[in-house]
Chain A
């Protein structure tokens, strides 16, 4: 069991959906099955976290089997502090999402969510480049169907747009993967696509720059950094809520994860060449997305831009390559995922009640639904980095890291963070308070909705007031990884 625990975690949802799909079960059974599969994976991941040794170096719970033998492609899974964080997030978010979807009667929705879980989990855990590519591509399919079939607005067009843009990135990554595999063949004499076989290859500088570009393009589109972001707002705007939650909380983070794992893993030296570019894109993004968020009237799109701005911050923290930046980034990955998941669920609830997500058509919720108001404001403020929530700790760490690197970068980062306060407070004032524009009956949160939101709130507060609970889990491995990265970068401080 323990030998194959990672495979079980990845494939349980897929297995459930395929079995249920073949037997064409009733939608009620499907719901229970989906929820159970998510619950079981959550328990398994909790068990895995319990057994995880934070002080050991390298990958744990490794599964390694030959897959496509004559090309050296292997089925290679493993978990370390980085993948564990994202894995925990995925499994934590799925049960609340299924609770949110309780009244969803369309079967395709549930099948796609299960496929999506397999796709993202697999991408996080795979250590073989081709295997990673497989999951990276397949997680796009459920999103494509969900936006195109269940979305709103110009959903067909937007679904095609997100698919084409992300596949453009992954195709460039595929090219780099194939080339690296060939380099391994040329230098060692055997084919291999396993990450830890490929780290030893020494590239010449030019090839390396060009190969790193292939990977970075895929990740930068997925994040998305400014300039590669044209798919983001339309896709977030027309996607149904569960898909938006996964896109902003997990899939965007996978872009960061990719830079961390494969960028720093394969191209440590070369990354220096791209660091200024990424840093500039991230800084411009911070400001640009914040301004777009301030001017946006559609709540979904507003938080899409807000999400972009925070992901730019995470990317910045990663590129700073110091202990503050890195731990801040990792921390922000987790807390932003929780907060934005909560926020997009709240927006989904707003839509269910008012049939609109436009700020100009909302108002006066506070007087009628106090519980709703509390949760809405809590998630919005924790996205903005309210002291006492995890986001505050993470943002503080990144800002400290930025100051340590360069005074001006630090100053710029700190100032733009204020912009987040602007759009969040202004939005809260207009939606929750303000004049009451609507005529429909606004019901407060019911028990089911409370149950699905409470875990997120508890996690956010815990990460905010007691970071020391979580730091021992990732700190040792993080600092080892950072040291090796710094070593490769030539002692850049």
Chain B
């Protein structure tokens, strides 16, 4: 029982931290301090996670109370670590941004921690209703965060779009769960999987319909075309820290659920969705690229390019269904690679926004390399990584995804992926071109040393190290070590 408490501790710390911050938010403590209190709770949770990691292959949490609702395994632990690190980076990188905007208040940090808690529930969920609860806890907080700048019309509009569409797809999820419960008599992943294996494909059509409804929710949340209409406006309307949080961390959470659903619950029949997923993937890749080419605001470009990255991930997801061994770890690796590059690039955008209160267009970046040479180099590295240029971690991510696609026989899809990677070179290189090819009237600024900039430097180094340093330097684990990590985690699923 004692050990069970220990296993639940990371989640408990986060939720306690959220409540504590909520109580503290009306006190006289400054935002700066509140931010560090929030980071402190997250760090504490991360440390506990570190000790728990690898303790158990997989165990149910408080089985006598919750039954099989919560599971603890390496898979969930890796994702927990990613959420916590993502939240920590979001909070620290935007430290100056919070101070520069007067609308930020104490409860902001509480909302972030609550949503991290929701994501953790999501990654530990081993049962459909628990998954829904986790998803909704995370989403509701994000809805609030998107509209955090209350008087800004764009933000409120984005929030309304997101809430209405999100709740509707939430209803789809519930409908799917109800149908599955009707067929199986249980919502536990294991029992659903057993039910599927013990029945013929012809006899489980109700379950398949239900599962397809759940897929709709998942596709909506990750922003796949044709469920993408909210992405651009919401990413645009949200303040930079929230956009960063959504693009990196929240997306990872949805993929944690997707992977578990796909690898555990639907594993006997996951090839059933392959064709649908392939169609969705093609639309996502092409639609996302089309949107990204046409943007003038850099934030919107990054938002639309995140749709394209969803497309790459979907290639790997449909490869899982076609029996690729590599695909599931490839998804996790790609999520990490995308997470690093996205956090870095949004971090730089929010750094610029701290000084200059306007939305940056491509043209505003003219002469940026002259004004801020180091920032420009780092931004270029993130752009290269997002474009999948070799010698960055983004290349390895794409490498694994495309080899997985070829392994599973989806050669045309891999070819299309490479084609969209080529298109993405255009809109990412355009930003590099803007930064370097134009002169600026302003003189060079000194490099501002602070928490946010130092963290961005570290992320840049990780991005480069992930691309070239792998196993060449003795005693330092390479980024490919994460692949082995991920494969172990995948094999811990049940």
Contact = CB atoms under 8 A, between A and B. Distances in A.
Interface string B451-494: 00000000000000000101110000010100110000000000
A138 B390 contact: yes
Contact of A179 (B400, B411, B438, B483): B411
Interface residues of B, number: 36
B403 A163 contact: no
Given A163-B429, A182-B406, A156 B437 contact: yes
B430 A160 contact: yes
B480 A71 contact: yes
Contact of B390 (A66, A133, A164, A172): A133
Contact of A178 (B384, B402, B430, B480): B402
A182 B480 contact: no
Interface stretch (A142-150, A270-278, A297-305): A142-150
B471 A66 contact: yes
Given A159-B437, A182-B407, A69 B429 contact: no
Contacts of B422: 164, 167-168, 171
Contact of B421 (A138, A164, A171): A171
B406 A179 contact: yes
Contacts of A75: 472
SS of B interface (majority):
helix
Interface in A99-157: 130, 133-134, 137-138, 141, 144-145, 148-149, 155-156
Given A164-B425, A171-B422, A67 B436 contact: no
B471 A71 contact: no
Contact of B391 (A138, A156, A167, A174): A138
A213 to B, nearest CB: 12
B426 interface: yes
A443 interface: no
Given A68-B480, A175-B414, A179-B406, A155 B437 contact: yes
Contacts of A130: 390, 399
A181 interface: yes
A144 B472 contact: no
Contacts of A204: none
Contacts of A468: none
Nearest to B419: A171
Nearest to A148: B437
Contacts of A133: 390
Interface string B407-440: 1000100110011011001100110110011100
B436 A149 contact: yes
A68 B478 contact: yes
A159 B468 CA distance: 26
Contacts, number: 87
B195 interface: no
A10 to B, nearest CB: 13
A144 B395 CA distance: 19
B343 to A, nearest CB: 23
B433 A156 contact: yes
Contact of A160 (B390, B406, B433): B433
Nearest to A172: B418
B315 to A, nearest CB: 13
Q: Which of B421, B429, B437, B484: most chain A Cβ within 10 A?
A: B437
A70 interface: yes
Contacts of A159: 433, 437
A67 B471 contact: yes
A171 B471 contact: no
Nearest to A151: B437
Interface string A307-349: 0000000000000000000000000000000000000000000
Contact of A69 (B391, B430, B480): B480
B483 A70 contact: yes
B53 interface: no
B478 A175 contact: no
A66 B471 CA distance: 7
A160 B484 contact: no
Contacts of B429: 144, 160, 163-164
Nearest to B406: A182
B390 A134 contact: yes
Contacts of B411: 179
B471 A148 contact: no
SS of A interface (majority):
helix
Interface string A157-201: 001100110011001101100110110010000000000000000
Given A69-B480, A171-B418, A178-B414, A145 B471 contact: no
A65 interface: yes
B377 to A, nearest CB: 9
B231 interface: no
Contacts of B426: 160, 164
A163 B425 contact: yes
B418 to A, nearest CB: 5
B345 to A, nearest CB: 18
A140 to B, nearest CB: 9
Contact of B425 (A70, A145, A167): A167
Contact of A137 (B389, B406, B432): B389
A175 B396 contact: no
B438 to A, nearest CB: 8
Q: Which of A149, A163, A178: most chain B Cβ within 10 A?
A: A178
Contacts of A71: 399-400, 403, 480
Contacts of B438: 156
A148 B480 contact: no
Contacts of A141: 384
Contact of B472 (A65, A171, A185): A65
A67 B414 contact: no
Contacts of A138: 389-391
B421 A148 contact: no
A68 B470 contact: yes
A149 B437 contact: yes
Nearest to A175: B418
A70 B411 CA distance: 22
A67 B433 contact: no
Contacts of A145: 436
Contact of B480 (A70, A156, A171, A179): A70
A69 B384 CA distance: 23
Nearest to A181: B403
Given A75-B472, A138-B391, A148 B399 contact: no
A68 B471 contact: yes
Contacts of A178: 399, 402-403, 406, 414
A156 B400 CA distance: 33
A185 B390 CA distance: 22
B410 to A, nearest CB: 12
B164 to A, nearest CB: 40
B429 to A, nearest CB: 6
A144 B433 CA distance: 9
B354 to A, nearest CB: 25
Given A65-B472, A71-B480, A178-B403, A148 B390 contact: no
Contacts of B399: 71, 130, 178
Contact of B470 (A67, A160, A181): A67
Contacts of A69: 470-471, 478, 480
A175 B415 CA distance: 7
A390 B336 CA distance: 54
A252 B418 CA distance: 24
A68 B406 contact: no
Given A179-B411, A182-B403, 4 more contacts: A68-B471, A71-B480, A149-B436, A174-B418
13 contacts: A67-B470, A68-B470, A69-B478, A70-B483, A70-B484, A75-B472, A134-B390, A134-B468, A144-B432, A145-B436, A156-B437, A164-B426, A178-B406
Interface of A: 65-71, 75, 130, 133-134, 137-138, 141, 144-145, 148-149, 155-156, 159-160, 163-164, 167-168, 171-172, 174-175, 178-179, 181-182, 185
Interface of B: 384, 389-391, 395-396, 399-400, 402-403, 406-407, 411, 414-415, 418-419, 421-422, 425-426, 429-430, 432-433, 436-438, 468, 470-472, 478, 480, 483-484
